Structure 1
Amino acid sequence: MKRVWIMMMVAVIWTAPVWGADLMVFSGAGLMKPMEAMRKNFEQQHGATIDVHYGSSGEIFGMVAAGQPCDVLIPGAEKYTQDALKNGWVEKETIRKLVLHLPAIAVPKGNPAKIKGLDDLAREGVRVSIGDPKAPAIGRVSKKLLTKAQLWERVQPNIRVYAPTVNQLLIYVALNQVDATIIWKDLTSWAEAKGKIDVINIDPGRNIIKTIPTAVCTRTQNRALALQFNDYVASAEGLSIWKEWGFEPCAK
């Protein structure tokens, strides 16, 4: 577990915001891979400097609520954007639905606990990790779908850790610290997961699919550039990058 905490601390340091850029973007931590590719492309095309702070959807929402400088908000679920809209923190006309977020069960390679579906997460002795329901979008969704399946109270005794970000859930499984977790399926294509985990699809009738949106913040200090970046992540080029990382574009 010590190794896990070291990796987590490195991730926190690496993703800390750096002020003074042309644009500041707050993004869900699980979107890091496609976002980094789009950031680099946009910087080259526009000669601008983009800083991206990656954190749980709850964290970045809280940062916007606290008035921290943010030009574009891209959380891991639409709920956070809609809540920001209700509070006047994002511009309604700039909201773009980007891609779908599909929950799945991730297990260590070889599936030693023989997990076949949601019901097995409640089996005695199974070690489970779940995103904190008050932090990453996957935590809120995990609690909802387990509650929907009437499994939440039965799974709770098996939960060994409530992770603050979805990225950490991937680490726990890849290092065989737990037997199973509920994670966004697109993360299973990351290099950190290759050869280390297996994926168990959740029955579509029990699953809850979320949408990832983007929006320009009302307090942006560089609205013209923010609009350009907001449009870019929703453009054909941007969507092709999302698809490369396992995301499914929303139907137009």
Structure 2
Amino acid sequence: MRRSTPAALRTLALLAAGTLALAGCAGQQGAQEGEAEGSASPTSTLTISAAASLQRSFDEIAQEFSAEHPETAIKAISYDGSSTLATQIVEGAPVDVFASADEKNMAVVTDAGLGQDPVIFATNTLVIAVPSGNPGKVQSLADLAGATTVLCAPQVPCGAASARLLENQGVSVKAASQEQNVTAVLQKVIAGEADAGLVYATDVAGQDKVESIVPAGAAEVVNSYPITALGEQPGAQDFVDFVLGPKGRQILEEHGFGDAAAGADG
């Protein structure tokens, strides 16, 4: 058997040392990357229930919140009529944050001993929505009496506000249908299934398939939107604070919501 020379042995030793050094660097880099990834991984998840009229603004708020709070993942946001959401929460639905379109349905939740003291974060008013081109020739609340009109159901915030607005103006309307949330009203108008519907000003903002008319008395019927964290889930109060903060306020205003300080109970 041929023996290795001292020079060859030294070469092999150097190669082995170099291989170990590279492996050590790679292992250290992998550990650092793993630590960085681990530090960005969510440590808590949130489930949010919000009034249907908040969908576009809250979808954007959720994106901004997630970018600033990688430790908290938003598992789901359920959008529906506030009365429906309040009933679900009281009956035990696992919800960490509730944003209602009125104080009445928020009270259903807080009176059941759930949530912290709610804070008003936005306001909204009603408009008459008509299909593009206004085929029903609706110009005022009075015209709704002779048109095919869709309204929110009375127990829904937009329905309660619509009833007050119509009563204040002395107009009686027999609705073709009463929907469980304002989004359903708007969709029927967009689809041409109704000549008109009463929806929030924020619902028609940026819509090209509907036109809106600000009815007389709308400024006197203002819906106030409260929000609260439910339970002790980490990140829930952070989300509430984000909605109340500068970025949340800016997004809400961009979507047409009014300043919370200007509103009264709706």
TM-score bucket (shorter structure): 0.7 to 0.9
Q: Is 1:237 aligned to 2:250, yes or no?
A: no
Report the counterpart of residue 46 of structure 1 in structure 2. Answer: 69
Alpha carbons 1:99, 1:211 under 8 Å: kept: yes
Of 148, 158, 178, which aligns to 2:194?
178
Gaps of 5+ in 2: 1-43
State the Cα distance separating 1:43 from its structure 2 match: 1.4
Identical positions, percent: 24
Alpha carbons 2:116, 2:229 under 8 Å: kept: yes
| Root mean square deviation, CA, Å | 1.9
CA offsets per residue over residues 105-134 of structure 1, 9 Å max, x none?
1111122222121111112xx100011113
Give, in whole Å, the separation in 2 of the partners of 1:87 and 1:64. Answer: 10
Instruction: Identify which range, 108-117 or 35-44, moves more after superposition.
Output: 108-117
Alpha carbons 2:151, 2:177 under 8 Å: kept: yes
Report the counterpart of residue 226 of structure 1 in structure 2. Answer: 236
Q: Which has the higher contact order (CA 8 A, sep 6+)?
A: 1
Report the counterpart of residue 30 of structure 1 in structure 2. Answer: 53
Alpha carbons 1:216, 1:226 under 8 Å: kept: yes
Give, in whole Å, the separation in 2 of the partners of 1:90 and 1:144. Answer: 28
Q: Is 1:69 aligned to 2:94, yes or no?
A: yes
Letter in 1 for 2:149: V
Distance 1:73 1:240, change over 3 A: same
TM-score (norm 2): 0.77
Gaps of 5+ in 1: 1-20
Letter in 1 for 2:107: Q
CA offsets per residue over residues 7-36 of structure 1, 9 Å max, x none?
xxxxxxxxxxxxxx7111110111100101
Letter in 2 for 1:59: T
State how many pairs are aligned: 218
Distance 1:61 1:210, change over 3 A: same
State the Cα distance separating 1:80 from its structure 2 match: 1.5
Give, in whole Å, the separation in 1 of the partners of 2:68 and 2:260. Answer: 25
State the Cα distance separating 1:242 from its structure 2 match: 0.5
Larger Rg: 1 or 2? 2
Alpha carbons 2:101, 2:224 under 8 Å: kept: yes
Q: What SS class does the counterpart of residue 251 from structure 1 fall into? A: helix
Find runs of 4+ consecutive structure 1 residues off by over 4 angstroms. Answer: none
